[in-house]
Structure 1
């Protein structure tokens, strides 16, 4: 009888444990934020990446021109594509780099809008929790950083994806760098959950425009080139769910690839500070609409039916323009 009772108790404990596992939320569950559009129904924002160098490598000059252009197009917010603090992220919430590379650099009035930030590989070399901490937001209310999240506007959804954990090299051959993988391990489960959440969110979206932002390239003629892991795991999900743009940094350039094999426009804005002169690989000239190996940034201006993309250099000169359109009553 005691033997039977023991096994029954063990069965119910295992059943309860497995039941609890069924209700464990996804570790990559996507938090949502809402940002209003202008009263006239338009949406404008800036995109900059790979910037955090305490004003050096023309970071301050890029910030100045961002301020000028931001005022001209009346931006609602700024997107950072990652590598927010070089070389090794932040050491903690009290790291002076937050002031020296962010607060004291992006001072123009038009840049005192919400910043939506993702993490780059250099950010993962520091204290990741520091960049995600609300303490930084208390220090500067513009700052919002998450691993992955969704930004909703009236007619556009922007999906921010944590791309660094996808890259095998950071785990197998870190080149004497230390990465902060707290909150990511076990890696396979983290990536599986993240891909599932991104796929579900994109599939359920009824937004007129779908934009995905990540740090790493998917298609690029730059130094890092194609990120094979994203091309294999993430790109099919983006294509299956009718994503309009994939915006990234990582390569220190400004770049636009309009693929002949995909509806997605691949846009690189990684010119926030240090650039890599002459570092370009061969690419189909029919697809490569822009490759600029200097500093700069981009703007996106949108309505329900149009999206206008403009790239600017460090002097505020227009390098490239691209426009997209949709029917007002077309299905999302």
Structure 2
């Protein structure tokens, strides 16, 4: 995709009215010559290399090289503790550009916002100006990435959570372009529902920051279960991928085909919390790390790695595919 077209798309989304329902912005990403796709997923990372962020980044570089990855997904909380202070905040380089330096990681990054990002200057992270500093950066509220075998639906989950709108700790949240909450969430859900039902992709993955199902500190996010999950079920979503809890998880749903994958171990972790929920826990690691994905039209393979590059867990699924995008 040409850089100028990409910048134009970002500008259009950032400065359009959030209260007006509009089709989610779409981007195209090519697959490999053999029709496959590989990528890494990391979340909750932006600590200037601290709390093992640099160790995780090093191992991401090694796995990224082995898999010849096509891109990287960030599940949010990109800069701690309070997002970016503005376009000239050195945290962008110190937590992103200067940390993820491996050659294999010099690919497109598709990025969503987390709750800590909303505690800073959100428009700075969304601004195309940051791409002049690092061309890998593509951060938006909600958008779609189309490939020949899978569609990724990126969802801005922070505005769903009522706690942030009435924060008892009086934290500041940057609601520019979001408030009023009810209108923003309703429009987003409508647009996502339409896009999912119209999709003919072999695989449909939804990416958000907040947990849908989790056995760690934050647990299940009630607002997502009530408002977002029904749309995912109706839209035939295969995977929900998130961060927020600083751990690695795979949880299988007992009432739908949806699998829940948490990759929020990009830096600070080890919360020491384990609270099972009603769904089936396949894997849980209360520590730093990241996730890889390898995809074909028929197969998906997921692997979780720790900060030392140890392969902790693998899972794969195959399905018959008759439709194409």
The bucket for the TM-score relative to the shorter chain is: over 0.9
C-alpha distance after superposition, 1:51-83 (max 9, x if no partner)? 000000000000000000000011000000000
- Bigger radius of gyration: 1
Partner residue, 1:77: 71
* 2:152 pairs with 1:158: yes
1:13-48 alpha-carbon deviations (Å, 9 max, x no partner) = xxxxxxxxxxx9835641000000000110000000
Q: Is the 8 A contact 2:197 2:235 kept in 1?
A: yes
Which secondary structure does the structure 1 equivalent of 2:94 belong to? helix
> Which of 118, 125, 135 in structure 2 is aligned with 1:124?
118
Corresponding position of 2:12: none
Matched, 1:179 2:169: no
Q: Which runs of 5+ in 1 are unaligned?
A: 1-23
Contact 1:81 1:119 in 2 (8 A): yes
Kindly provide the CA deviation profile for residues 155-186 of structure 1, in whole angstroms up to 9, marking residues without a partner as x. Answer: 11000000000000001234121000000011
Q: Say if 2:293 is the partner of 1:296.
A: no
Matches within 5 A, 1:35-74: 35-74=29-68
Report the Cα offset of residue 230 of structure 1.
0.2
Aligned twin of 1:138: 132
1:208 is the counterpart of 2:202: yes
Q: Distance in 2 between matches of 1:205 and 1:242?
A: 9
Q: Distance in 1 between matches of 2:194 and 2:41?
A: 26
* 2:188 match: secondary structure: helix
Aligned partner of 1:16 in structure 2 is: none
- Mapped partners of 2:192, 2:291: distance in 1: 25
Give distance in 2, aligned partners of 1:150 and 1:328. Answer: 21
Structure 2: segments with no counterpart, 5+ residues: 1-17
In 2: Cα distance, 1:318 partner to 1:306 partner: 19
SS at match of 1:134: coil
Task: Look up the SS of the partner of 2:223 in the other structure.
Answer: helix
